[in-house]
A and B are shown apart, each in its own frame.
Chain A
């Protein structure tokens, strides 16, 4: 058994959220750069160039890529042989988020659903935990903006709708979002499980690195087909028209009930900010 102190968790969470918000991952930067070649629209190309200049500026000035620094989505993979000591795990993550959003000059975007009163420190974070083999603690942070999150949905399809029904639903959501979720987008699709599992799978799908296909051949083919069909919608960068509407589509799937076909679509903007650390 290995001991992990909550103080280390606080400081790692703080660093991850600041870095994620300021420094676009190299893979995403590369994906946007490569998309300039593929984009047919001159306006679309110009938008993509602006996005690269923006990422450069954010790094140089140590300023967030986007003013919407999101809700603090945090995934914890906790080794079953790890022992968290020194305090409460959830409180440690919360304190890390609180410090990151204060010290990093990140915008606090968390509020009461009805009164809309801001909680003031971007807490509580959204924490997902999973117990895994080993004695480590993997922390992945995904600050998620509101503009893209608003175009997500969970839908219980009829089993007979099958693969084509899933694809039609994904395309419907992309068209519905149009320019609003800040394309070029990344699309996470969760299929199966039940109501809440599908939603979580769609979020986990967004954590797959850009360009990486599913290990399942059928799903990999579906990802490729969907990407092509999304890019044929004409929405383009920022919705100004073009051939690069999405940078990637990732699908995750789990077995489901005989009577159900749950599907969730979670959309991420071009500022796909993600960071992880292993303690």
Chain B
């Protein structure tokens, strides 16, 4: 695809994460990992019990998503973001362990925003309800953990040019707050 948009890849290098600005649209390529409510609960229980994450999260990006089933001949079904705030209780711990990015929709807590500033992470927004469009950017999908959770299993997705907006950058900017302020009448 020919575009003027900035392209970034996973794992997210520290200088790349640091250069992203809230409000910017980017195209992400590489591997990302789906995880939502139930998977996060299990991550934290595993870490609390002294265990290890099912994948090395250093520099990685988690996508808050529970895809629809893949129709025959397709890599994945519709796969837009779910509301991120439900993962707010778990996210700061993962960010402190090296998680570099999260993709979802909706506002984050002060705790998450603080962790992003402290550990130089980024929160991206994928367009909620654009699940068919986002599915087109997925070139491969493989369940890597928690298969018993069905649509909530951890799936490693290989994405190409996934369209995202930077919502919270490492400098503490927040697209939701600034955007709303600019257009409030």
A-side residues, CB < 8 A to B, are 40-41, 43-44, 46-47, 50-51, 53-55, 57-58, 61-69, 105-108, 116, 118, 145, 147, 150, 178-180, 182, 232-236, 238-243, 269-271
Contacts and interface: CB of A to CB of B under 8 A. Distances in A.
Contacts of A55: 132
Nearest to A177: B106
8 contacts: A43-B175, A47-B127, A57-B133, A68-B82, A182-B105, A236-B180, A241-B181, A241-B182
Contacts of B175: 43, 240-241
A116 B38 contact: yes
Given A50-B163, A54-B132, A233-B184, A67 B68 contact: yes
A107 B176 contact: no
A74 to B, nearest CB: 20
B125 interface: yes
Contacts of B129: 51, 54, 65-66, 68, 145, 182, 269-271
Contacts of A178: 106-107, 176, 180
B8 to A, nearest CB: 17
> Does more than half of chain A's interface fall in helix, strand or loop, or is it mixed?
loop
Nearest to B65: A67
A233 B74 CA distance: 40
B70 interface: yes
Given A50-B127, A240-B176, 9 more contacts: A43-B23, A67-B67, A108-B151, A147-B83, A147-B105, A232-B184, A235-B180, A239-B106, A239-B179
B153 interface: no
Contact of B77 (A43, A67, A179, A234): A67
A69 B68 contact: yes
Interface in B167-185: 167, 175-176, 178-185
Interface residues of B, number: 47
A43 B165 CA distance: 9
A63 B135 contact: yes
B66 interface: yes
Contacts of A67: 65-68, 77-80, 131
B51 interface: no
A64 B77 contact: yes
Interface of B: 23, 25, 38, 65-71, 74, 77-80, 82-83, 85, 105-107, 125, 127-136, 150-151, 163, 165, 167, 175-176, 178-185
Nearest to B163: A50
B76 to A, nearest CB: 9
Contacts of A116: 38
A68 B81 CA distance: 9
A144 to B, nearest CB: 13
A50 B106 contact: no
Contacts of A65: 78, 129, 131-132
B127 A118 contact: no
B68 A233 contact: no
A134 to B, nearest CB: 36
B140 to A, nearest CB: 17
Nearest to A272: B129
B161 to A, nearest CB: 13
A65 B131 CA distance: 6
A239 B71 CA distance: 31
A202 B83 CA distance: 23
B181 A107 contact: no
Nearest to B38: A116
